[in-house]
Structure 1
Amino acid sequence: MFIKFSLIVAAFTVAASARTFTVHNACPFTIWPAMFTGSGHPAPSYPTGWQAAAGTSVSFTVPDNWQAGRIWGRRGCDFSVNPGPNSCLDGGCNGGLVCDPTTGTGVPPATLAEFSLSAGGGDYYDVSLVDGYNLPLEITPSTSACHTASCPVDLGPNCPASLKGPFDSTGFPVGCKSDCLVDPNPSNSPSCCSGQYSTPATCPPSGVPHYNYFKSNCPNSYVYAYDESSGTALWSCLASYASDYTITFCP
């Protein structure tokens, strides 16, 4: 009796300590979502990459303390010929369809949904354009008291010429690179907040050439390395809410 009761308590504890994430593809075309967990942190027990037809959703649990987690979408993938990072037009990863759990972080440009759950009493999450853009994206907490993070705009067509691309077979831009990605000196750059520009004081948004393009179109997203100063980049939700999250592509 004691053993059976202990097993029930253990099962309840596991269930209570997990969150439900739903990834929904609202795009009118197939995408290939991907997921990555930072080194040394517990990872969701779900494949790190899958195919999502238009209008489909999947739900899975992630650890209550999922840290340094990210989810993104890939476009124009064909894993039959080249199952590596270049098997997609953008967002590809080491491993092909299922991203390598240690090196499969994704090839930019890619819009990222980033999470650190139960970090110092709060869930922290953002839609990041730091690595550029490839799909509109939204993070919606199940708790109405918490804010939705989003970049709901297709930034490809009006992307500045120096950042536009890659392109699909019709010439349509399926991405918009970050200023850092095209910087000729990324190790010492205000676009990358690196080298002598590696602090918030030395790397204001005014030093990032196209900051306003990204931020004006997607004000509730994380645009560059120190964008927290905008007040609309990094969002938090009390960990005590134990919120679930829906990640929607093309909201």
Structure 2
Amino acid sequence: MKLQESSASFSLFLILNSFLSGPAFAHQVTFYVHNKCPFPVWPATAANRGHPVIADGGFYLPSGETQRIVAPWDWNGRIWARTGCNFNSNWQPGCETGDCDGRLACNGLIGTPPVTLVQISLQADKSKPNFYDVSLVDGYNLPVSVTNKQTSPKCTIGGCSKSLKNWCPHELQVLNNNGEVVACKSACLAFNLDSFCCRNDYGSPEKCRPNVYSKIFKEACPSYYSYAFDSPPPLVNCAATEYFVTFCPSSWGGEYKST
């Protein structure tokens, strides 16, 4: 009799657990982060204020591999890739680009620019689309594409058509210890001028216009934000629960020679 009661209780536990965990799972969005670069990258995440850290804020991703990460259905934040990392020494920074205080798990810290940012705003109301974009407002370190699982054109942000590292003006270049270009600063980051940063007297679309540097960014990566008031806004809205974020979706001769 006791064995029957125990079995019945366990069966009831399984039913209740399935019932309770179902909606929680449905209230999540999955990102498959894929590395098509011919070298490892260290993807990182940072949540906007009031939202939780996901995927510990950062992880190692070898070339050719994919990592699945899950976010709450109303999550807001950013995803980027770090390059040239070494966390086995006391050197600072720990990465050539996108570093977060020398840590593998950024745990909420924002990466050091210049870095290509995937910016995400998920909607708690599943009848509404999610919003995302790729921004070069803080500069560039790697190309990235974003799409839903069905790869719908409406939901897709493509990669770059040219190597921005190869096209980066000398005054915007970030070099590693070997003298290789590993990132390209935005004009705002490089010169800190209101006219480039779209602030103060230039804090409106009418006053802050495309400049020679943002036009170089836009020509190389037409689907990304090239400066703060880029128009038409390259913002995607797409209702889905699974997305692919791919680093180095395309390749050009000298773009990926350094790690």
Aligned residues: 235
- Alignment partner, residue 35 of structure 2: 25
User: Is contact 1:19-1:63 (8 Å) kept?
Assistant: yes
Offset of residue 8 of structure 1? 2.4
Instruction: Give the secondary-structure state (helix, strand or coil) at the position aligned to 2:183.
Output: coil
Offset of residue 9 of structure 1: 2.3
Indicate which of 26, 46, 60 corresponds to 1:36.
46
Indicate the residue corresponding to 1:71 in structure 2: 79
List aligned pairs for 1:1-251, cutoff 5 A. 5-44=15-54, 46-67=55-76, 69-82=77-90, 86-94=93-101, 96-101=103-108, 104-118=109-123, 121-143=128-150, 144=152, 146-152=154-160, 153-169=162-178, 171-183=179-191, 186=192, 189-205=194-210, 208-227=211-230, 229-231=231-233, 233-238=234-239, 242-251=240-249
Give the TM-score normalised by structure 1: 0.86
- State the Cα distance separating 1:90 from its structure 2 match: 1.0
Checking the alignment, whether the CA contact within 8 Å between 1:89 and 1:168 is kept in structure 2 is: no
* SS of 1:175 mapped into structure 2: strand
State the one-letter code of the partner of 1:209.
Answer: V
Distance 2:86 2:198 in 1: 34
Report the Cα distance in structure 1 between the residues aligned to 2:83 and 2:177, rounded to whole angstroms: 9
User: For residues 3 and 145 of structure 1, do their structure 2 counterparts lie closer, same or farther at Cα, with a shift above 3 Å needed?
Assistant: farther
Structure 2 CA distance for partners of 1:145 and 1:164, relative to 1, 3 Å: closer
Q: CA deviation at 1:47?
A: 2.0
Which stretches of structure 1, 4 residues or more, deviate above 4 A after TM superposition? 1-6
Q: CA deviation at 1:71?
A: 0.9
Highest Rg: 1 or 2? 2
**In 2, Cα distance between the equivalents of 1:65 and 1:83?**
37
The aligned amino acid for 1:139 is V
Residues 123-156 of structure 1: CA distance to partner in whole angstroms, max 9, x if unpaired?
Answer: 1111111110001111111242633113334311
Identity %: 39
| Contact 1:83–1:96 (Cα < 8 Å) also in 2 | no
Structure 2 vs 1, CA of residues 39 and 83 (structure 1 numbering), >3 Å: closer, same or farther?
Answer: farther
Conserved? CA contact 2:120–2:132, under 8 Å: yes
| Equivalent residues of 2:73, 2:124 under 8 A apart | no
CA RMSD of aligned residues (A): 2.0
d(CA) in 1 for partners of 2:56 and 2:44? 8
Q: Is there any run of 5+ residues in structure 1 with no aligned partner, and where? A: none
Q: Is the 8 A contact 2:56 2:107 kept in 1?
A: no
What is the distance in 2 between the residues matched to 1:66 and 1:200? Answer: 28
